[in-house]
Structure 1
């Protein structure tokens, strides 16, 4: 199979509750490094297509559909970030990969950080992309309100049906984060999310998985604390703009300071002209990710 100019193969790995589906973009050199990349809360493995395209065979890229999403949607619960972290360790062991260059975007960054804490032998390097760093909620914002703000739009989409793949494309093309930035790689990514048959196509994401995982991203102390207990140095790449391309991104210098991040242990670097999605799906953001993955 292929996504844009980067060809991948699809395989499965047994984990508790079923078989996790994994995409593999092979390196052209058998001695090249291996990268394991973890997607965000309602995403799937093809979120890394642009990164794979730019890697151009200089590393093997392994990206799972996390349980409860896309081709791994039938893997049973329980869900939660610790479960995903253990799935990553199981994947690495099953494929005989040894220490890998580990990266994660958004929720995947929290999982990646937690995976290195739970399985210190897992990673030789760690790159966090617009995630993993939790900071105190603003004054007057309750936990329930924060959860509703984060999960509300996602859960609304999960409850929708679409009469055709063209309709789903049109839905996403209205998203402000992708204005002028639509690519063949992103097209393949959104189409992988669809299940069902016309005229009742829907997102593959299991709502229970999204609720549980989303709640833990915001509220689970073990997951929030992982970035402060890493067994290896790491880097955080953060997008200047937010999920809806708004000027305030998930992070800024003040929020990172509020989080108490040890900047000698976890370097924090802004990526100009990116939002929460295009820091991975866009050419400029993917370029910065690839530079780090190949240098680590």
Structure 2
């Protein structure tokens, strides 16, 4: 990347070591600003390079959440509170008392939880296609809830692949990426694989995804965090896109559901970015260019 140099750091957390991707700006902006980026439910820190490239001058800290990527060996339960505690450990390790935080998908829910449990550590919130309650069915089993929200994304976690090329072929045909396949995506997907006997599997386990998805939609931690969101002292931006995980419409926030959420949260500034889906809003060049002005506005305010 031209705007930043890239390295990784392992940060001690409860149950193990959390891998953190660090993008240091080649030319830091005034005050050497830092932001914390939080990825989605089955992603890793390598979901962020497109966005990083659009934020010259800003240091980006992006962990692999516990149970994902190179943090998949961290022992102990996941859930929103555990992830938030891990993020506090990351900020401590880098000597950052308070930073803008932006999260994508489940990462946005983790960001909301962090803002509730450790508000002094969060200067700004940018929630990218996540963070506010989804229009999820009520009264269903954990497995049915995961299927309803994630669908084939969850099914993939039980699949095995002969090699990296087979995994890339699987994703290359995915409807979310047919317009936006890139070398960065190939690196992201290759990083996701771990050995499993004579084959490979995604680093994120289905059990971890199930636990996090259930906690995200029915857990009391997030309920309390969302109830407190109107009192958050800093700016809160919500970015949504019209298309979902399979490039389908509507996306995660159907218009009527989204309107009701925003009516109850007058402090949330909403922007919809057109012609993008849940993945490509951050994992494509055009998505990163569209979301960058919102992120830059927050950094400038910080």
What is the TM-score when the length of structure 2 is the normalising length?
Answer: 0.90
Could you tell me how far apart the structure 2 residues matched to 1:189 and 1:143 are?
33
Q: Is 1:112 aligned to residue 111 of structure 2? A: yes
Structure 2 matches for 1:76-115, cutoff 5 A? 76-115=75-114
| Counterpart in the other structure of 2:140 | 143
Could you tell me how far apart the structure 2 residues matched to 1:119 and 1:169 are?
39
| Counterpart in the other structure of 2:47 | 47
- Equivalenced residues, count: 291
In structure 1, runs of 5+ residues without a counterpart are none
Could you tell me how far apart the structure 1 residues matched to 2:266 and 2:73 are?
41
Pick one of 22, 26, 30 that aligns with 1:24: 22
Could you tell me how far apart the structure 2 residues matched to 1:204 and 1:269 are?
32
Provide runs of 4+ in structure 1 moved above 6 Å.
none
Could you tell me how far apart the structure 2 residues matched to 1:18 and 1:104 are?
23
- Alignment check: 8 A CA contact 2:79 2:211 kept: yes
CA positional deviation for 1:148:
2.5
Structure 2 matches for 1:1-296, cutoff 5 A? 7-27=5-25, 28-29=27-28, 31-55=31-55, 57-135=56-134, 137=136, 142-144=139-141, 145-196=144-195, 199-230=198-229, 231=232, 232-259=234-261, 261-296=263-298
SS in 2 for 1:163: coil
SS in 2 for 1:121: helix
SS in 1 for 2:119: coil
- Once superposed, what is the RMSD of the aligned Cα atoms? 2.0
CA positional deviation for 1:67:
0.4
The farther-off stretch of 32-41 and 248-257 is 248-257
CA positional deviation for 1:226:
2.2
What is the TM-score when the length of structure 1 is the normalising length?
Answer: 0.91
SS in 1 for 2:204: coil
In structure 2, runs of 5+ residues without a counterpart are none
Cα distance, 1:136–1:149 mapped onto 2, change above 3 Å: closer
- Alignment check: 8 A CA contact 1:147 1:218 kept: no
SS in 2 for 1:286: helix
